[in-house]
Amino acid sequence: MPGALDGIRVLDVGLLVQGPQAAALMSDMGADVIKIELPGVGDHARWIFLSETDPRSAYFHSCNRGKRSVTIDLRTPAGVEVFKQLAAQADVVISNFKHGTMDAWGVGFDDLSALNPGLIWAAGTAFGPLGPDASREGADLAGQAAGGLISTVGRDGSPPSPVGVTIADHIASQNLAAGVLAALVSRARTGKGQKVEVSLLGGQIWAQAAEYSHYFMTGEVPGRANNGHPLLRGLYGIFETADGWIGIIGVPPESRDTFFIAMEQPELSLDPRFQGLLASREDMQYLFATLTPVFKRKTTAEWCDTLREMGVRYAPVRDYAQAVEDPGIWDNGYLQRLEDEAGTEHRVVGSAIAMSGTPVKPAARAPDLGEHTNTVLAELGYSEERISQLRKEGAI
């Protein structure tokens, strides 16, 4: 079955995560994604090795599976000419360089839309295309720090800490993909392409919309997570067990009495402070302190069984090694076992999106640097002699 984006061609000029992951999602959805990389160097993600002795890259593999790699040096006139010919036949161009870089190379929105009025030109930056920081470079940590996310992590009194994944990049990539898909829908109505721009900073603000809205409404900064969430005053947080941790994702009113009895604290079911959803922070601190030693009496698995029977929402706090043992993750395709063209099996992160009519299909591997240069240029009509000459000139 064809994917939802079957017939759509994307030129991915991105680096690391923000741009490439957006393009990877489109590849999973059936688009033909051509990865444009600097000859001899490639995407910087290729150089984030697993170890000193293992040159594979988890970053490159996860953000570039299923693409075709073409090496082009956009700093050369000949390279720009090749890229423009590709862009003339493409639907989407995705990049995430410092603001103004693509324009300086002569492949900005105005340059390419003059050749292809239907082109979607999409760019991700660190701090957005406007304002005093527009020309500053940045990476995931910049988005987490400047956007306020780091200020919410951990407990009061502890040093600030970033989230242990490239969350600003990931959120920005999803925003970039959403903008591109919306622009494709608009183009189907109007026939015109457009510019789509997102940023690490903007993605972090959007991801914390409720918390920023709370600040605007009250003038109060929500503060640290403190094992839960600063704005959610119910039983919403994580507790230490005899062998790990477990998350309690709220206790519905109909399960409250049963829950407190199971926690050997039946008197709490009659306590007026915990009958609704508006308990004070001080009251919740008391409740958490009361329940903390109780949770330590059983293992995480034992609490999972108990809470499941009660109908209380919960989740064990797991690391990656524990999560991959969950059969539901594989059943839903969030993780998959796929074979490449050589028959080698790979365990890969699948898609978070399921579509019944146009299935999302991740690929087993990412391309080698320049693996498809000759093929793609031949599709454009370049002869073997011209391709060889471009290589000698350093344009590809």
Burial of 59 (C-beta count, 10 Å sphere; 0-12/13-18/19+): buried
Distances (CA, A) of 242 to 92, 154, 248, 286, 330: 52, 21, 16, 21, 28
Task: Decide if 169 is catalytic.
Answer: yes
Torsion of Cα atoms, 243 then 247 then 252 then 253, to 10°: 60
Using DSSP's 3-state secondary structure scheme, residue 25 falls into helix
Burial of 129 (C-beta count, 10 Å sphere; 0-12/13-18/19+): middle
Q: Which two tokens stand for residue 316?
A: 């064990």
Burial of 342 (C-beta count, 10 Å sphere; 0-12/13-18/19+): exposed
Measure CA 14 to chain center: 14
Q: Which two tokens stand for residue 229?
A: 């969430």
List 43, 169, 243, 305, catalytic entry: 169
Q: Which two tokens stand for residue 332?
A: 């839903």
Active site residues: 169
